[in-house]
Amino acid sequence: MSEAVSRRCAMRLLGAMGVALGTGGCVAAVPPGGLPRTAPATAAAAPAEAPPGATARIDALLERLTLEEKTTLLHGGRDPAPLGQAGYLPGVPRLGIPALRLADGPAGVRVAEPATALPAPVMLASAFDPALAREYGRVVGREGRALGQDVLLSPMANLIRTPYAGRNFETFAEDPRLTADLVAEMVRGIQDEGLIATVKHFALGNQEQGRDTVDVVAAEQTLHETELRGFEAAVGAGAGAVMGAYNKVNGTYACENKPLLDELLRGQWGFGGWVMSDWDAAHSTVAAIGAGLDMEMPGGTHFGGPLQEAVRGGSVRVDAVDLAVRRILATMDRFGLLAAHPPARPARDAAAGARVARRVATAGAVLLHNEHATLPLTGAAARSIAVIGPTGQVPFVSGGGSAHVVPDKALSPLDAIRQRAGNGSTVRHALGEDVYGRPLPANLLTPAAGLDDRRVEAGRNWSHEGEFTLAADDEWTLLVHYAGKRPSVRLDGEELFPVRQGVAEYFAGGLLGRAPDGLAVRRRTLALTAGTHRLAVFAEGGDKGGRFRLRHTTKATRAADLAEAVKTAAAARSVVLFAYEDATEGSDRTSLGLPGGQARLIEAVAAANPRTTVVLNTSSSTTMPWLSRTGAVLQMYYPGQEGAAATADILFGDVDPGGRLTQTFPADEHATPVAGDPLRYPGVGGRQEYTEGIHVGHRWYDAQQVVPLFPFGHGLSYTTWEYEKLSVRPGRDGLRVEFTVRNTGRRKGTEVAQVYVGPSAELKLDQPVRALAGYRRLTLGPGEAQQVVLDVDARTLSSWDPERHAWVLGSGRREVFAGRSSRELHLTAKAVVKSR
Ligand code: BGC
């Protein structure tokens, strides 16, 4: 596409910059360009300002930097002393410009050393508590600085648009408003501690399938009212950096997309930090720097030598290079990194990190279902417990991919339950499903070979060739656990664990990808026939030596595990069954059902003991054909290193489950916002469209009148709640909503009161049936009541008008709803929104 054409498209789809206020009947609710340049609705502390003299200091540096030095500031390089972080820039020591280290990520600092593994952001979001997001941000901010980092590659602000997306746990919600609030506070928290936050992946990085090339098409109104809200809020909160997405946006790669980077991000939103590419997401030199990309990561394929050549050859002006350098240096300066005495690095406070991790994991725990008072476990129910499932024994701490964190420590749920149940209680565990396999039976191998825990010395190789004889046809899962180079395992000549290309090889899942002792794990399931097979194993010791073991499961071992689980469940008074789904960056989920034989396991266990609670360590929504057979279902996502203790806190009722769903759970796979329209997801011919328009997430369920399994905002409490006396009147900048929330039960509990607003008839634009307009998290004692006062601001009452390229207020009569979830709204009132 020529630049002229691409610019025209951009104007149409993103909105021209600097467009004036709407005029006539509807008045734009926000300043020119459609965005408050200072802070969004949830503004708290002002972002750090540039220190005095910054411009002169940077001018002086720019004068002294050579072209080669300038470009080293614009792309990643090799770290001579890596700390295990994702990215590094060497700086220019001769001029006092320090190196920059950039670490993931969204759920804690991802370096080689342990750090606080916090609950996944989706769990943080479930608390509906921006103040908690700030605390979470502060933990990562401080730890990032303590662990030698300067930039954090977090938060991820992309919306949960499809339940299949592999990174839904790394992000917050399907709702743009909630996402915006939390992203802003997380940015503030990270930066409060002096670490530079990077909001990612700008924009429309909502899926893993085809992420490197897919062209995501969304109309202007849709963009502004859905995916862009979180990014805009991050900019408003002063984020130092933005990371461009892998995908294309409306025809152009996000990392060379002028309408996005230059016109929208900088022009309309006034972003003053720098834009880096996602890892290997830069595609060009001239187009990318011209579009507003400042830094290529993690190497210099385009912004190293080729950028210098482009400047020398005249296709890139040195001013463009200077501008990019200036943005990076100005941000570093804003964080004190260019000062003669940069801020001292703090020590880690692991205990404080652990406390926040536990608090977030209870605050974000969503009790989805609870029949016959299955939970909390009290009295006899707490004294005889069967814990079932592999993740009852091996804690599922964090998801896979770049958000994976090496935790300080992680207790197993089984131990946490044992500790809490105390002496005099019986707590027994059964695996139910063996995810790491058992040793290969020696009698199947000729000649005999020790294939379980074999060590290979450095510089040596080890091999085995022989027969592998099966008495009957069976479905086998073969697993290799290894440290060092992955051994080659050939069965009848076929390599079972080939090293794949790309991200799928690198990211293997937060649970299944590693054995409890840290060895990497790969699996392969095959239908094997009775008789003799040829097995060949070859392992190289490499420089450091290696270690591996070959393991297996079969139909017979699976049946035995199931039977043992059923027996253990039947013998106990209550059952806590831990189920998992192991999502990771690099691939999308292929089904919304629980993987493997878990549905069968739940059915069988619940049939044996209906007082079964299913604890879900899953990334996003799952379908639950087994729901009605269970007593309770507790959604714990990936709960971080304190997840086991937090799970026990909720199971035993020490803490009320404080989380509410930030994404709708569909009744089945045919009833999701992306079902039946491959253009919507995963895309057709490399193109994917937001054909649902502004109706992302719960808005789609409302617009289509589809009944979900659990609606957005849903979550049970151990106590009962009533909502009373809703009144709505014109407020300072929109509407003031007041109502009373009463704890009508006999226990202290936590409620997330929610307010939604209906469309304006005066606005001739597509609008949600109900948009989330506000929420308040409250903890009340038995019988206590609290009056909630929520101001619904003008932005929330506005829609983006693609003709005016501005927000326009939805004036006139609007319906306001208050209640416990997007589908449990007992109070309604009407109010007139006046245009000013
Ligand atoms: C991910 C980013 C991450 C980067 C560095 C990429 O694959 O998309 O989110 O920050 O790697 O690890």
DSSP 542-578: TTT-EEEEEEEEEHHHHHHHHHHHHHHHHHSSEEEEE
User: Which residue of the set 175, 215, 278, 561 is catalytic?
Assistant: 278
Residue 520 has pLDDT above 60, yes or no: yes
Query: Is the CB of residue 507 below 6 angstroms from any atom belonging to ligand 1?
Result: no
Tell how far the Cα of 200 is from the centroid of ligand 1, in angstroms.
9
Pick the residue whose CA is nearest to atom 5 on ligand 1.
86
pLDDT tens digits along 558-609: 999 999 999 999 999 999 999 999 999 999 999 999 999 999 999 999 999 9
Tell how far the Cα of 282 is from the centroid of ligand 1, in angstroms.
13
| pLDDT at residue number 311 | 98
Confidence label for 732 from pLDDT (cuts 50, 70 and 90): confident
> Is the domain 49-334 a CATH 3.40.50.620 member?
no
pLDDT tens digits along 671-702: 999 999 999 999 999 999 999 999 999 999 99
Query: Is the CB of residue 223 below 6 angstroms from any atom belonging to ligand 1?
Result: no
Mean pLDDT lowest for which of 17-21, 70-74, 126-130, 466-470?
17-21
Pick the residue whose CA is nearest to atom 3 on ligand 1.
402
Residue 246 has pLDDT above 70, yes or no: yes
Question: For residues 243, 248, 249 and 253, what is the CA-based torsion angle, rounded to 10 degrees?
Answer: 60
User: Which residues have a Cβ under 8 Å from the Cβ of 492 and sit 6 or more positions away?
Assistant: 533, 534
| pLDDT at residue number 51 | 77
Tell how far the Cα of 654 is from the centroid of ligand 1, in angstroms.
37
pLDDT tens digits along 524-563: 999 999 999 999 999 999 999 999 999 999 999 999 999 9
278 has catalytic annotation: yes
Instruction: From the CA of 87, give the closest atom in ligand 1.
Output: 5
| pLDDT at residue number 836 | 72
Handedness of CA 666, 669, 671, 676 (dihedral sign): positive
Lookup: tokens for 706: 């589809």
Query: Is the CB of residue 86 below 6 angstroms from any atom belonging to ligand 1?
Result: yes
Sequence ranges of the domains in the chain: 49-334, 369-434+558-678, 438-552, 721-833
Confidence label for 507 from pLDDT (cuts 50, 70 and 90): confident
SS (H, E, C) 303-367: CCHHHHHHHHHCCCCHHHHHHHHHHHHHHHHHCCCCCCCCCCCCCCCHHHHHHHHHHHHHHCCEE
Q: Which CATH superfamily is domain 369-434+558-678 in?
A: Glycoside hydrolase family 3 C-terminal domain (3.40.50.1700)
Query: Is the CB of residue 584 below 6 angstroms from any atom belonging to ligand 1?
Result: no
Mean pLDDT lowest for which of 18-22, 274-278, 552-556, 569-573?
18-22
Tell how far the Cα of 78 is from the centroid of ligand 1, in angstroms.
17
The mean pLDDT of 473-489, rounded to a whole number, is 95
pLDDT tens digits along 26-35: 323 333 223 2
**Crossing angle between the packed helical segments 643-651 and 350-363, to the nearest 10 degrees:** 40
The answer to whether 266 and 274 have CB atoms below 8 angstroms apart is no
Give the rounded percent of residues in the chain with a pLDDT score beyond 90.
89
| pLDDT at residue number 510 | 83
Q: Based on the number of CB atoms within 10 Å of its own CB, is 286 exposed (0-12), middle (13-18) or buried (19 or more)?
A: middle
| pLDDT at residue number 399 | 92
| Helix (DSSP H) and strand (DSSP E) numbers for the chain | 20, 35
Query: Is the CB of residue 104 below 6 angstroms from any atom belonging to ligand 1?
Result: yes
Query: Is the CB of residue 153 below 6 angstroms from any atom belonging to ligand 1?
Result: yes
| pLDDT at residue number 79 | 97
pLDDT tens digits along 395-417: 999 998 999 999 999 999 999 99
Q: Nearest to residue 564, comparing CAs of 511, 530, 608, 499?
A: 608
Lookup: tokens for 85: 């972080």
Query: Is the CB of residue 480 below 6 angstroms from any atom belonging to ligand 1?
Result: no
Instruction: From the CA of 153, give the closest atom in ligand 1.
Output: 10
Tell how far the Cα of 502 is from the centroid of ligand 1, in angstroms.
13
The residue whose CB lies within 8 Å of the most ligand 1 atoms, and thus the one to mutate among 171, 279, 295, 505, is 279
Q: What is the DSSP letter of 819?
A: E
The mean pLDDT of 215-244, rounded to a whole number, is 98
| pLDDT at residue number 43 | 30
Confidence label for 39 from pLDDT (cuts 50, 70 and 90): very low
| pLDDT at residue number 48 | 54
Q: Nearest to residue 506, comparing CAs of 516, 517, 520, 496?
A: 520
Cα–Cα distance, 620 to 638 (Å, whole number): 10
Q: Nearest to residue 176, comparing CAs of 765, 545, 589, 696?
A: 696
Residue the block writes with tokens 């992955």: 486
Tell how far the Cα of 44 is from the centroid of ligand 1, in angstroms.
28
| pLDDT at residue number 506 | 72
The partner residues of 75 in beta bridges, in order of sequence, read: 296
Instruction: From the CA of 246, give the closest atom in ligand 1.
Output: 8
pTM comes to: 0.93
Looking at the domain covering 721-833, what would its CATH class be?
A: mainly beta
Looking at the domain covering 438-552, what would its CATH class be?
A: mainly beta
Residue the block writes with tokens 């005095």: 52
| pLDDT at residue number 49 | 66
> What b/e string do you get for 616-649 counting C-beta neighbours within 10 Å, with b at 16 or more?
bbbbbbbbbebbebbbbbbbbbbbbbbbbbbbbb
SS3 assignment, position 723: strand
Query: Is the CB of residue 138 below 6 angstroms from any atom belonging to ligand 1?
Result: no
Cα–Cα distance, 368 to 358 (Å, whole number): 20
pLDDT tens digits along 280-322: 999 999 999 999 999 999 999 999 999 999 999 999 999 999 9
Tell how far the Cα of 830 is from the centroid of ligand 1, in angstroms.
46
Task: Report the mean per-residue pLDDT for the chain.
Answer: 92
Pick the residue whose CA is nearest to atom 8 on ligand 1.
278
